[in-house]
Structure 1
Amino acid sequence: MPAKSFDVLGRRNEGWTARAALDLLPENNGPRVEVLRGCVLVTPLGCVDRRVVQRELGYLLKQAARPMGLWLYHEVNVISDTDLFIPDVAILKLSGGGRMAMDISHAVLLGEIVSPGHRRKDIIDRPREYAAARVPFFLRVDLRNRVPTIALYELTEGEYRPVAAAAAGTRFVMREPFEFSIDPADLLGEEAVPEEAGTS
């Protein structure tokens, strides 16, 4: 079997599926490669703030989830029928150890950190897809103007309904699918770097 290569993206003439992407494309630590309705979506790594929040939130959520028998992963491959999603945070009721991908039926909560260039995807499209797959909870973190906000939604009659939300300087508290509390401001934990210094 030929080595996996991203060159196949320019040669393949048929629609993509989650299985085809996992079989044909190489593993990588760079762009996120997802599949939606037969198309491959390639997303570059997010800004530093986004990566910091993903790390901090993931660490804290993991401490709260593990005693409840749940597993947390960053950017794990999640298969939903023929689609392939890579949520920023995935809390699963089954360990992903030794697996390349997890079926979305094992997801208890999927979370997205809103990217400035992909606000529609993170705020509208992605939760709609997760709701259609009957994922019980959706968590969204928004970093607009470097003021973190967190919102938790629960699936009710096929749609996500808000159950908890907080902005930096207040307390975000959730009770389900496990207890967790944080001031969203703690997710960044540092002052903004002047633009000139950050781009030099």
Structure 2
Amino acid sequence: MTSTLSEEKGTTREVGELLADWPYPPPGGWTADDLDRLPQEGPHGEPDFFKHVELVDGALIFMSPQKRFHDVVIRRLADSLEAQVPEHLAVATQMDVVLGVRQRPCPDVLLIDAALDREHDRTSYVPDEVHLVVEVVSPESEFRDREVKPRRYAAAGITHFWRVEAESGVPAVYVYELDSATRAYVPTGIHRDKLSVQVPFSLTIDLTGLLG
């Protein structure tokens, strides 16, 4: 395979070269640009091997099989936001955000600039284009969603972060806002049964109804 993945320090990186020693990272580590050029198949022909992969701290993170809770909450939360979103914003789901050379997480739900909603060839956004990121926590992603990714989003300057947890089978939303002086998130509330906030825009969501 000869497809070029990226160029780093003047040398061309090829797909075959990068995957030759899988699962070990290539020399210099994975970069955000590499994810746009990964093949559909895995290094041994596995179909859709790279269909959903994130880059966090230079490491490739693969999504494990998700519970129905995760899928339903993402879709219906996005629908609820879409129904109330102002004209200058748009809703996206499971789109990458490039935070740096070795940081390319894939939030479950995002609020982006409305103009970007028509750019159908986009595979990622940058922090200045993103106003809210939402992570729906699953068992395998608890540490990343609670500890690692919020710190990365805050350091990149994304103003709003929500973390959705399953509490007795019902969604609970932990809401955070960026303290621009410290570049860290400050908790502003835990919402159960009903989510009601004024930023990033005024909205109310019946959380008990998200699961139908």
Same fold (TM over 0.5): yes
Taking structure 1 as reference, are residues 29 and 70 closer, same or farther at Cα in structure 2, changes over 3 Å only?
Answer: farther
CA RMSD of the aligned region, Å? 2.5
Matching of residue 17 in structure 1 with residue 40 in structure 2: no
Task: Report the residue type matching 1:32 in the other structure.
Answer: H
Matching of residue 105 in structure 1 with residue 128 in structure 2: yes
Task: Report the residue type matching 1:21 in the other structure.
Answer: L
Where do residues 86-97 of structure 1 align in structure 2 (5 Å cutoff)?
86-93=106-113, 94-96=115-117, 97=119
Query: Which position in structure 1 is the counterpart of 2:192?
Result: 167
2:62 to 42, 46, 53: 42
Aligned counterparts of 1:145 and 1:42: Cα–Cα separation in 2: 27
1:119 to 135, 138, 142: 142
Q: Which moved more, 1:107-116 or 1:178-187?
A: 178-187
Q: Deviations over 1:31-89 (max 9, x none)?
A: 53011222211122421111001000001112222x24111111002111111110000
Matching of residue 56 in structure 1 with residue 76 in structure 2: yes
Residue 25 of structure 1 and its aligned partner are, at CA, apart by: 3.7
Task: Structure 2: state its 5+ residue gaps.
Answer: 6-14, 42-47
Q: How high is the sequence identity, in percent, across the aligned residues?
A: 27
Aligned positions, number = 186
Residue 3 of structure 1 and its aligned partner are, at CA, apart by: 9.4
TM-score, normalization by structure 1: 0.82
Task: Report the residue type matching 2:188 in the other structure.
Answer: V
SS of equivalent to 1:85: coil
Taking structure 1 as reference, are residues 181 and 58 closer, same or farther at Cα in structure 2, changes over 3 Å only?
Answer: same
Structure number having the greater helix percentage: 1
Query: Which position in structure 1 is the counterpart of 2:156?
Result: 133
Check conservation: 1:154, 1:160, Cα contact below 8 A: yes
Task: Structure 1: state its 5+ residue gaps.
Answer: 190-200
Aligned counterparts of 1:52 and 1:141: Cα–Cα separation in 2: 12
